Amino acid sequence: MSEPLTLPHGTLLLRAKRWLDMELRPERINVALAVCGVAVAWVPIVALTGIGWLVSGKWDPLVLRSEIHVRLVVALSLVFFAWKSLESRTLGVCKSLEAGDVLPDSSRAAWDGLVEHHRRRVHTRWPEITLAVGIYLVTLIAYLGALPSGVLRWVAPTLHDAEPFWRGHTAAWWWYMLVGQPIFLFAIGRWLHHWIVWARVLWKLPSLSPRIQPAHADRAGGLGFLSGPLGATRVFVAALAAALASVWFDEIKLGRALPATFAFDFLVFFLLSSALAFVPFARFVPVLFDAKDDGERQFSAIVRRYVDQFENRWAAAEDPNREPMLGSSDFQSLADVGNSYCVARDMRIIIPGWDQIRNHLLATVLPIAFIVFARSESAAEVVLRLFSRIVGG
């Protein structure tokens, strides 16, 4: 039996993580990584802006944009948290698969091979080196003024506001372009890489003939635990939504757009984020559909046999030797058998539950819905307006 698949290890951050392993307790490692990431990406921008204000008496327009602070503090911290969440949740799923009887013995070797194959994909530095090189290549193209206006307008909007060769910009702006924004984009790309690896595991899992129990209480045939990593996906999607909302908020604040301007962009983002979260479970649909159909038919037959025996005992003519009706366990058993049939009948053909779909929708919509209140107001006015609506003022 191979060790369970762990996602965020064995990459460019391995040296930093090894040092943190020696200095900190495990539960604080990711907090330390998040603090270090924010400190390197955001704090120098604020410090350089403060120095510039002391020299010139004017604030750098860069720090007056919500994009900088939301991306490099809020969204970046959420992505770091999503790293930890994805690691712990996928590890828990793998342990449940290997410790339980979900996989038949005939599929154990195939599962071990699948895990080992994808572990090699994660425990290599080349995907992250490629990602880092790609980010700086795009930055170089933008510096030369050759980046098409439609490319990465969501991911790196500040690049499109700059003139070729970035003349006349402050030290804080250069730090954001060369350090802060690459760190943010690298964090996003790294999480996406690890989620894609896990999605490939989920996509191939139905071919291993997992055991499905239609009467299982999770309403997903006993496979509901596979949707656990969606909690990490919600955090990641909320981080992206907050980053997008900050850009759109700035555009609205500057009078260059209205909330309706971003309706199509929001629709595309919602569809892409939903596909990212739920498409990996698509191959389970026909398997669960067949199991649901078989389970409903089997439990219907069980209920019929029990009802026949129940009626023969209790609905027949009065028998003086029959046990008293009051206190008999037959009636509770009748209800239990009926409930088992209802569970099999109500089994979902999708593994994620409706509550998880709803939570994903909220994680996508709520950060972006904030800008509906923006119009031409400041962030403080937006918060006060939202609060007044909540309390009914």
CA–CA distance, 213 with 219 (Å, rounded to integer)? 9
Amino acid at 223: L
pLDDT in tens, 18-77: 554 545 455 566 677 788 889 999 999 999 999 999 998 888 888 888 889 999 999 999
Q: According to the model, what pLDDT value does residue 150 have?
A: 62
Cβ count within 10 A of residue 132: 18
User: How high is the mean pLDDT of the chain?
Assistant: 83
Instruction: Indicate whether 158 pLDDT > 50.
Output: yes
In tens, the pLDDT along 72-89 reads 999 999 999 998 899 889
The single-letter DSSP state of residue 163 is: P
pTM of the model: 0.86
Residue 301 pLDDT exceeds 80: yes
DSSP per-residue string spanning 300-353: HHHHHHHHHHHHHHHTSS--TTSPPSTT-THHHHHHHHHHHHHHHHT--SSSS-
Q: Which has the closest alpha carbon to 303: 345, 337, 329, 346?
A: 337
Please enumerate in sequence order all residues whose Cβ is within 8 A of that of 184, keeping only pairs 6 or more positions apart, or say none.
41, 71, 72, 75, 76, 79, 243
- More confident position, 188 or 322: 188
Contact in structure between 158 and 177 (CB atoms under 8 Å): yes
Q: Of 134-148, 256-270, 321-335, which gets the smallest average pLDDT?
A: 321-335
How far apart are alpha carbons 48 and 54 in whole angstroms? 10
CA–CA–CA angle 89, 91, 93 (5° rounding): 70
317: pLDDT strictly greater than 80? no
Confidence of residue 2 (pLDDT cuts 50, 70, 90): very low
- Cα gap 186→181, rounded to integer Å: 8
175 Ramachandran zone, left/alpha/beta (phi>0; psi -120 to 50) = alpha
DSSP annotation of 2 reads P
**Secondary structure of 228-261 in HEC code, one letter for each residue:** CCHHHHHHHHHHHHHHHHHHHHHHHHCCCCCHHH
d(CA 37, CA 53) in angstroms, rounded, equals 25
**How many other β-carbons are positioned within 10 Å of the β-carbon of residue 231?**
18
Structure-token match 């209480």, residue found? 217
Span 350-387, pLDDT tens digits: 999 999 999 999 999 988 887 666 554 455 455 555 55
pLDDT tens for each residue of 5-24? 554 444 455 555 555 454 54
For residue 28, the model assigns a pLDDT of 66
Sign, CA torsion 101/106/108/113 = negative
- Looking at residue 1, its pLDDT comes to 44
Position with higher pLDDT, 100 vs 203:
203
